[in-house]
Amino acid sequence: MNTRMCITCRGVIMPGQWASDPAVRATSTHPGCPTPEQEMDRLAAAGDWVEAERIQCLWDWALKPVPNQLARAAAWYASLGLAVLRLQPGGKTPYPGETIAQATTDPAQITAWWQDTPQANIAIATGRLVDVVNLDGPLGLANWGHLTHQPAPIGWAYTPSGHHLYLPAQQGRGCTHHQAPGLDYRGPGGWAVAPPSWSNTPRGPYLWRQPPNLGGPR
């Protein structure tokens, strides 16, 4: 969010380069790197539709930065009934001195948090309405595909290292690490870093592939 990232090589785009080169701004890539269109063509030819769609999401996100988008997203999740907590900017852990037990749907508290820390990432508490399966890398996605009798996801986000599948909360199911290689389950007491949270790594932000559909009013 503070640093522009080249969509295809994932290196940093220097602010001067972004400011001076319209082609860099239009593609969010370095001169000489594959453009998002070229990269999507390459991935589609290789049959990797999931990664091609992730590139499309990254590009959309780069072209349409929205002011206060973290605060807006946090308020939107709360309006859906999802309890949220602020996380450290660019990170996955709660803001210093706060815990996931403080996650809330209270609009006043959420406004106060993001007014104080506009770049704070967003946690959605799991085990309350939704659970989240964290799939790390291609292995996680493959192993999820091999599991049977899993509920259909009600939301799907890209993470810097894989995917988050949002499922209806399943009572009594806790957090299990490495349920299968590359696969963690987040239930009561856990949380998921939610879009459009950003990452200190060069892998880019969390993005919705399919925003949560909780079946209620929007």
30 forms part of the interface with Zn ion (CB under 5 A): yes
Exactly one of 9, 75, 169, 214 binds Zn ion (CB under 5 A); that residue is 9
Choice between 9 and 180, CB closer to Zn ion: 9
Smallest distance from the beta carbon of 8 to Zn ion, in angstroms?
6
Nearest residue (CB) to Zn ion, 173 versus 203: 203
Q: CB 61 → Zn ion: shortest distance, Å? A: 16
Element (H, E) at 127: none
Q: What residue type is assigned to position 148 of the chain?
A: T
Binders of Zn ion among residues 143 to 202 (CB under 5 A) are none
Segment 31-70, which members bind Zn ion (CB under 5 A)? 33
24 contacts Zn ion (rule: CB under 5 A): no
Name which position in 6, 73, 123, 194 contacts Zn ion (CB under 5 A).
6
Q: How far is CA 171 from CA 37, 127, 176, 187, in A?
A: 43, 7, 14, 8
Helical spans, DSSP H, in 3-147: 15-20, 22-27, 36-45, 49-63, 69-79, 107-116, 137-146
**Closest to Zn ion by CB, 12 or 101:** 12
Decide whether 33 or 167 has the Cβ nearer to Zn ion.
33
User: Cβ 32 to Zn ion, closest distance in Å?
Assistant: 7
| Four-residue CA torsion sign, 187, 189, 190, 196 | positive
Task: Tell me 11's DSSP state.
Answer: P
Of 5-13, 65-73, 112-120, 141-149, the segment contacting Zn ion by CB under 5 A is: 5-13
Assess 5 for contact with Zn ion (CB under 5 A): no
Residue 202: CA count within 13 A, CB half-sphere: 9
Question: At a CB cut-off of 8 Å and minimum separation 6, what does 25 contact?
Answer: 18
Beta-strand relationship, 155-159 and 207-210: antiparallel
* Region from 11-19, 98-106, 141-149, 187-195 binding Zn ion, contact rule CB under 5 A: 11-19
Query: Which ranges constitute the DSSP H helices of 117-190?
Result: 137-146
Of 12 and 66, which CB lies nearer to Zn ion in the complex structure?
Answer: 12
Among 137, 125, 141, 118, CA closest to 197? 118
Nearer to Zn ion among residue 12 and residue 112 (C-beta): 12
- Which positions lie near Zn ion, rule CB under 5 A? 6, 9, 11, 30, 33
